Amino acid sequence: MENPRPQFALRLLPSMTDFAFLMPIVFLFARMDGARTLLSDGDTGWHIRTGQWILAHHRVPAHDIFSFSRAGDVWYAWEWLWDVLFAWLYMHGGLAIVVLASMLVISFTYTLLFRLVRRRASSIVAIIFMMLAAVSSSIHWLARPHLFTLLFLVLFYGALENVRAGRTRMFGRVPYLWVLPFATILWTNLHGGFFAGILLVGTYGVGELLRAVFAAESEERRTAARCAWHYVCCAAGCLAASLVNPYTYHLHVHVVDYLADPYQGQHIVEFFSLSFHHPMAIFFEAVIVAATMASFWYISKRQFIEPLVMLMWMHAALVSARNIPIFTLLAAPMAAGAVEEWLKLLPQLQIAAWARSAAKSFRQVAAELDEIDVVRRWHVVSACAVVLVGSILFAPAPPRKFRSDYDPKSYPAAALAVLDRDPHSRIFTSDEWGDYLIYRLYPQTKVFVDGRSDFYGRDFEEKYLAVMNVKYNWEKTLDGFGIDTILLPTDAPLAGALKESSRWRLIYDDGISLVFRPSRANPGTQFSANPTGGGTGRDREVTKTEARDRTITESKSKT
C-alpha cells in the first residue's frame, strides 16, 4: 500500500509547471526592470483613459477624444474590451493591479506553452524551449492589449493540436472547431492580433491539403482532405465571427490598410527588424536554428503543418520584431518535438561513445523527472510567489523594481507642475510623451500627437516628424496648429533650434525635459529643477538632422 505521507509532501513541492509559471516573473525582476518594464510604453496610459471614458459613457468611441490636432476625426478604439477591463482594475488598484494582472497573463501564457511543449517532449526539453520562447519574447513584455493575443494564440494552438491528435471535443461534448469562432469574438475585441489566430487555423488546413497531395495511399489522402476541409471551414467561421465588433468590417479594412502601409515599417519601432546586437537576440537565434532544422526534418516525414507554421512566422519575425513572440510561441512545441526525436535516435547512431552515453544518460534523467512530475501538485509555491509579489507591489514604499509608475527619468513627471498651470494650452511633444500627457492630464489637456499611429496616419506623422527633425517649414506647422507650449526631451534635435530661435524661450529645464513658450508672451520667470543647468548634448549640434526619420520613434513601441 502506498504511503500517503510522502505523496502529501510531494504535492506541496513545486513541479515543472510551477517553474514554467514562475520563470517569467523571476526573469522580469532579476534580469529586467521589474514593474517599470511593463510600464515602459506610454500607450498603457491612453488605453486606461479610453476604458474609463467607455465606462463613463456606456459606449465605444467612434471619434477622437484625446487630441486637439484631429479632434472629432474617425477613430477605431479596436482594443476597447482590454481598455474596459484594465480601466476597471485601475480604478480599484491603480497601476499596481495593472502590472500584476499583466504579469499573470504572461505567466499563464508561458505555463500553457510549457504544457503544450510537454505533449511532444520530456519536461527538461519542454522547459528549455519554453524559456527560449519566453526570453526571446521579453522585448515585448508591456502592459498592453497584445499580451492577450499571445495567450489566445497558445489556446488556439492547443485546441488545434487536440483536434489533430483525435481529441476533437472539449470536455467530451463540444467540438473544438466550433469553440474557436466564439473565442475569436472575444479575441477580436481585446486586440487586433486576432488575424494571427485565423491564419493559424488556415495554415493547418493548407498543411493537411499538402499531406493529401503527397499521400502515398488513397485512404490517407481522403482523411487529410477531410481534415483540411474542417480546418478551412473553421478558419472561415473565425473570420466571420471577427465581424462581431463595434466597427464590423470597417475594423478589418482599417487594420489591413494600417499593416500594409510600408511607412509604418520604416518609422514605427516595433515594426523594425530586431538588431542582432540586442542581448536577447542569441535566444531568438537559437529558436531560428532549431525551427529551421526541424522544418526540413518534418518535410522529410511528409508533415507539412509544422514547416508551414514555423517558416511563415520566422519570416514575419525577421521582418518585424513585433512578430518574434508569435514565432517563438508557435515554433517552441514543434521544434522541441523534433529535438526529442533526435535525442531518441542518438544512442543508435555511429557517433562517439561519449555522445551516445550522454544522450542515454540525459534520457534516463528526463524519464525519472517525468515520473516524479506526473504526481499532481497543489502549486502552493506559485500561489505564494504571486501573493508575495502582489504584496510588495502594493506596499507603501516598494523597492525600485516593484514601483508601479512611469520612470521619471524617461517621462516628464516633474514638468507637469508647469504644464498644469495652463490646462488648455496647445502642447507639442513627442508621441511617447503625448501618451503620458493623456494619462496624467486628460481630460483638461488635449495632445498634439500620441502613440495611435494608425489614427494619425502617414500625412500627419510626416508633418510631426518634420517638426521634430527641424525640417523645412517646421515653424509653419507649429503656427498652423496654434502651438503655444513645446515639451521636449533634452536631446531632441528641435530643442537646439528652439534655444537659438528668437520666437521661443526656455521656461523650464530639469535635465530630463524642457518646456518652451513663445517669446512674445509675458517673460515671467524661468523655472529650473537643475540649478547647474544640467543636461548634456544640448548645444547647437543637436539640431543636425539624422539621415532617416525613424530615430524619433525608436524610443517607443506602438500598438
Percentage, residues of the chain above pLDDT 70: 92
pLDDT digits (tens, 9 = 90+) for 182-198: 999 999 999 999 999 99
489: Cα separation from own chain's centroid: 25
Phi and psi for 518 in degrees, rounded to 5? -60, 145
Give CA–CA dist 395/124, Å, rounded.
Answer: 36
At 547, the pLDDT band (50, 70, 90 cuts) reads very low
At 113, the pLDDT band (50, 70, 90 cuts) reads very high
Q: Which of 159, 103, 113 is nearest to 328 (CA)?
A: 113
Give CA–CA dist 50/78, Å, rounded.
Answer: 11
Residue-level pLDDT at 3: 54
Give CA–CA dist 309/299, Å, rounded.
Answer: 12
Phi and psi for 245 in degrees, rounded to 5? -150, 165
**Bridge partners of residue 175, in order along the sequence:** 169
List own/partner pairs for 535-539 with CB under 8 A and 24 or more apart.
535/490, 535/509, 535/511, 536/490, 537/490, 537/491, 538/490, 538/491, 538/495, 538/496, 538/499, 538/514, 539/496
Q: Where are the alpha helices (DSSP H) in 374-514?
A: 380-393, 416-419, 431-441, 453-468, 474-480, 493-500
Q: Which stretches does DSSP call E strand in 333-447?
A: 427-428
Mean local confidence (pLDDT), 229-233: 97
Task: Decide if pLDDT at 551 tops 50.
Answer: no
- Residue written as grid cell 513601441: 557
Residue 398 makes CB contacts below 8 A (sequence gap 6+) with: 392, 404
3-state DSSP call for residue 459? helix
At 463, the pLDDT band (50, 70, 90 cuts) reads very high
Mean local confidence (pLDDT), 299-304: 95
Residue-level pLDDT at 475: 93
Angle, helix 80-118 to helix 123-137, in steps of 10 degrees = 150
Helix, strand, coil content of the chain in percent (nearest 5)? 65, 5, 30
Mean local confidence (pLDDT), 33-47: 95
Give CA–CA dist 257/264, Å, rounded.
Answer: 11
Q: Is 401 left (phi over 0), alpha (psi -120 to 50) or beta?
A: alpha
At 534, the pLDDT band (50, 70, 90 cuts) reads very low
Give CA–CA dist 350/358, Å, rounded.
Answer: 14
253: Cα separation from own chain's centroid: 22
Task: Decide if pLDDT at 326 tops 90.
Answer: yes
Task: State the Rg of the chain over Cα.
Answer: 26
Task: Decide if pLDDT at 550 tops 80.
Answer: no
Q: Give Cα separations from 319 to 202, 262, 314, 316 (angstroms).
A: 21, 12, 9, 5
Mean local confidence (pLDDT), 295-313: 96
Task: Decide if pLDDT at 523 tops 80.
Answer: no
Contact (Cβ atoms closer than 8 angstroms) between residue 169 and residue 125: no
Please tell me the total number of residues recorded for the chain in this structure: 559
Mean local confidence (pLDDT), 496-523: 88
**Bridge partners of residue 517, in order along the sequence:** 505
Calculate the dihedral angle through the C-alpha atoms of 495, 497, 503, 509, rounding to the nearest 10 degrees: 20
Mean local confidence (pLDDT), 367-374: 84
Task: Decide if pLDDT at 199 tops 70.
Answer: yes
Q: What is the mean pLDDT of the chain?
A: 89
Say which DSSP state 216 is in. S
Per-position DSSP letters for 62-121, written without gaps between them: SB--SBSSSTT-B---TTHHHHHHHHHHHHHHHHHHHHHHHHHHHHHHHHHHHHHHHTTS
Q: Which of 469, 437, 451 is nearest to 550 (CA)?
A: 469
Give CA–CA dist 113/130, Å, rounded.
Answer: 7
